[in-house]
Structure 1
Amino acid sequence: MSTPSNWPLTSDSIRFVIPRRIVASLASHPLSQQLYPLGIGYYQHARGHQMQRSTHDDNLLIYCLEGRGRLTLKDRTRTVKPGDLLILPRGLSHSYETRNQNPWSILWVHFEGELAAEFIRQLELDDGSALLPLGIHSRLVADFEALLDARQASHSLASFIHCANQLRQLLTHIALLKPMAIRPASDNMDLEIIHSLMQARLHEQLDIDTLAAAVSLSKFHFIKKYKALTGTTPISHFIHLKIERACHLLDVTSKGVNEVAWALGYEDAYYFSRIFKKSMGMSPSQYRRIRFGDFSYKS
């Protein structure tokens, strides 16, 4: 594990390095060897905190909750603000420090594992930056705090295996938040407007021109920005919402497939059934039969 900083802890701060024998057990256990924590901490108003690593032999995440800091990579310095996540993979030399006039408060975790590089790869940015502007998310803070609970485990391996799998949840949660990372105001698009319009028009068809006009963008720029934010196309998401609604109607009403199709703006029930099967892997009638126990979801 890369050496944590020797910043003197205050009474409100935590630094917990997992014992080597526990780390060795986590590295060999089938339920944790793919990903496991090495050290976890929370530094509150960490005035004077700084670190420089020319050799970085594990992976490190730092989540800034308040204050300001600076991150330097290959002679490029970035300002770290509240809501920023620092992603520092193995082998990346770096230095960081906080500002004494506005010291940061940070959550951090060092980690390793057979799949650590794959989890890191999910978080990497196209510009090679190690700084992801996520914003403050209370659930993400709770994920970090759940890792900190491991220090009360009394060196129980089962508790640390649980902690290792909480780390997996933390990293996959960040991957979900990544498309929503804060962008410059000129690059923002209000997804709430788009998704509210989709929900309001589930009973009919909706074209790209209408969606793009709702946020005052050309069709080309709207599709590009929407996919960058969500990872999918607007029409694919609209169809997904329709299929979700179809499943609900099949579950809680006695409407026939034709009626469900009509309620979702599909005049051709056969076409609706094809789209439903492509999404769900079964026809609408087969989906409804699951409720009565005469069709297996695994069929």
Structure 2
Amino acid sequence: MSRPSSWPIPSGSIRFVLPRPIVSELSQHNLSKDIYPLAMGYYKNAAGHRMSRNQHDDYLLIYCVSGEGFLRIDQQDYRVSAGDLLVLPKNGIHSYRADESNPWSIYWLHCDGTLAADYFQSVEAMPAQPALSLGLHPRLVADFEALLDMRQSSQLLVAYLHSSSLLRQIMTHIALLKTQMQHHYDKSLNMSAIQSLMLTHLHEKLDIETLAATANLSKYHFIKRYKALTGRTPINDFIHMKIERACHLLDISDQSMAEIGWAIGYEDAYYFSRVFNKVMGISPSRYRSIRIGKATYKE
């Protein structure tokens, strides 16, 4: 593990390094080997805090919750402010420090695992801007605090297995916040307006040209931008919205399959059933049978 900084810890700050025998067990256990913590901490008003690594052999997250700092990576300097998350993968050369006049307060976490690279790839920032500007999120802070609280548990392995689970929760939460942040700041596409248009036209057909016109983009550039933000095509999203509506109608009404298909823009009941099955993995009639207890999910 890359060594944590030797910054002297003042009152109100925490540094915790997991015992090596525990780390060895976590790296081999089926419930934790994917990703597990190595060391973690919270540095409050960290005046004088600095760190430089020419060889970084694990993965590191730093979440700034107040104050400011600086990151140097790939011979470029970046200012870090409250709400920024630094995502520093393995094998990178980096250095960072607290601002002298307004020192940062940070949560930090070293981790590793067989899938750590995949987790970090899902949350890493753009190469030109290695800090994710997530903003201040009380729930994310609570996630870090819950992980730190594990240090007060016993040395039982089960406590550290739980810490690995908390770490997975943190990583997937960050991935969600990153996606939401991209939607908010990408001014080239008004996702709220586009998806509102989709929702108000679930009962009819909606072509890609109409959606592209709403975004004031060509069809090609609209599809490209939409997929870059969501990972899906706009028409695929529209179909999923229709099927979600169909599920709702199947749950709350006794309408026939043909009526429900008609309500979401499918005049052919057979075609509606085929689309429903493609999205949900079961037919609409089977979905309703499950709801009323005449069938099970596994059958």
TM-score (norm 2): 0.90
Which amino acid is 2:146 matched to? A
CA contact (8 A) 2:89 2:120 kept: yes
- Secondary structure of 1:103's aligned partner: coil
- CA–CA distance in 2 between the matches of 1:152 and 1:214? 54
- CA–CA distance in 2 between the matches of 1:206 and 1:261? 15
- CA–CA distance in 2 between the matches of 1:263 and 1:35? 46
- CA–CA distance in 1 between the matches of 2:48 and 2:36? 29
1:185 positional shift: 5.9
- CA–CA distance in 2 between the matches of 1:214 and 1:127? 31
Task: Note the alpha carbon deviations across 1:208-248, whole angstroms, 9 max, x for none.
Answer: 33333434434333322222221111221111111111111
Which amino acid is 1:212 matched to? A
2:94 paired residue number: 94
CA contact (8 A) 1:37 1:109 kept: yes
Q: How do 1:245-264 and structure 2 match up within 5 A?
A: 245-264=245-264
- CA–CA distance in 2 between the matches of 1:150 and 1:36? 13
The alpha-carbon distance between structure 1 residues 217 and 66, as it changes in their structure 2 partners (threshold 3 A), is farther
1:176 paired residue number: 176
2:163 paired residue number: 163
1:57 paired residue number: 57
1:42 paired residue number: 42
1:8 positional shift: 2.6
The alpha-carbon distance between structure 1 residues 231 and 140, as it changes in their structure 2 partners (threshold 3 A), is farther
TM-score (norm 1): 0.90
The alpha-carbon distance between structure 1 residues 262 and 186, as it changes in their structure 2 partners (threshold 3 A), is closer
1:281 paired residue number: 281
Which amino acid is 1:288 matched to? R
RMSD (Å) for aligned C-alpha atoms: 2.3
The alpha-carbon distance between structure 1 residues 113 and 147, as it changes in their structure 2 partners (threshold 3 A), is same
- Secondary structure of 1:246's aligned partner: helix
How many pairs were matched up?
Answer: 299
Structure 1, unmatched stretches of 5+, are none
1:51 positional shift: 0.5
2:70 paired residue number: 70
2:244 paired residue number: 244
1:3 paired residue number: 3
1:187 positional shift: 4.0
Task: Note the alpha carbon deviations across 1:126-166, whole angstroms, 9 max, x for none.
Answer: 63764333333333222222211212213232111101111
Which amino acid is 2:91 matched to? G
- Secondary structure of 1:192's aligned partner: helix
CA contact (8 A) 1:194 1:214 kept: yes
The alpha-carbon distance between structure 1 residues 291 and 232, as it changes in their structure 2 partners (threshold 3 A), is same
- CA–CA distance in 2 between the matches of 1:42 and 1:220? 46
The alpha-carbon distance between structure 1 residues 65 and 176, as it changes in their structure 2 partners (threshold 3 A), is same
1:184 positional shift: 10
Q: How do 1:22-41 and structure 2 match up within 5 A?
A: 22-41=22-41
1:90 positional shift: 1.8
